[in-house]
Copies of this chain bind each other. A is one copy, B any other.
Amino acid sequence: MKDQHIVISKATIDRLPLYFRTLRNVQEEGLEIISSEELGRRIGITPEQIRKDLSLFGEFGKKGVGYYVRDLIRNIGEILGLHRNWNIAIVGVGHLGWALANYQNFSSLGFNLAATFDVDPGIVGARVNDVPIYHLDEMERVIPEKHIVIGVITVPAEFAQQVANRLIKAGIRGIWNFAPIKLNVPDDVKLVNEDLSIGLSSISYYLSRQLPGDKY
């Protein structure tokens, strides 16, 4: 890696998991080298963008040949910290929590679902995707015991802040929040909010400019 301390834009960081996943598919197909054109075609972004993004991290490509797939996977994985195999926990095993617990891409990226939590006596004690569903009150014991560092919040908005507080107190260092509410967390805890309205609103924005309507 060229330098761990260079500043990388959020947009680039957000594209790295796409590169990582696509390259792993390429590797499974038995390819050892891939051009930025072919990689771009598979992901749906321009080869120029790919070359620009990857040049930030060093010389992974060979001019006129392409990128060495195995090296690039290892390097992007290290950049993203995916070789660390982070243990994660999901709090709130409703439909969304259940869907996330079964999302195959997480484990393929090196995230290990170690525990889930809920308060519903109908599911506490059961398993989701072979992972135990603990009662919320066991959080303070289970999280340090299982070395869980990332918490995923999929509880209703009104409970999200108190769940965040308890996760942080139990030792969590990163929170991925699906509740549509602004959480307050200390500066040393990394918070990522997943806002599911953005995708639809972005489609709406583009369609408004394309389709005839009452106001346009």
Q: Which residues of A contact B (CB under 8 A)?
A: 4, 10-11, 13-14, 16-18, 20-21, 42-44, 78-84, 86, 88, 94-96, 98-100, 102-106, 109-111, 149-150, 152, 173-176, 180, 182, 188, 190, 192, 194-211, 213-216
Contact = CB atoms under 8 A, between A and B. Distances in A.
A78 B204 CA distance: 10
Given A176-B203, A203-B192, A208 B43 contact: no
Count of this chain's copies in the oligomeric assembly: 2
A149 B200 contact: no
A182 B44 contact: yes
B150 A200 contact: yes
Contacts of A80: 201, 204-205, 208
Contact of A17 (B190, B195, B214): B195
Contact of A176 (B150, B188, B199): B199
A196 B43 contact: no
Given A109-B201, A173-B207, A188-B210, 16 more contacts: A10-B202, A11-B11, A21-B180, A42-B182, A44-B182, A81-B209, A84-B204, A84-B215, A95-B102, A111-B204, A149-B207, A150-B203, A174-B204, A175-B203, A192-B199, A192-B202
Contacts of A210: 173, 188, 190
Nearest to A95: B99
B200 A109 contact: yes
Given A95-B99, A173-B211, A188-B210, A79 B205 contact: yes
A182 B100 CA distance: 20
Contacts of A206: 174, 190
Nearest to A152: B200
For A16, A176, A190, A205, which residue has the most chain B Cβ atoms within 10 angstroms?
Answer: A205
Contacts of A204: 80-82, 84, 86, 110-111, 150, 174
15 contacts: A14-B202, A18-B198, A81-B205, A81-B213, A86-B207, A105-B197, A106-B197, A150-B204, A152-B200, A174-B204, A174-B207, A176-B199, A190-B203, A190-B207, A192-B200
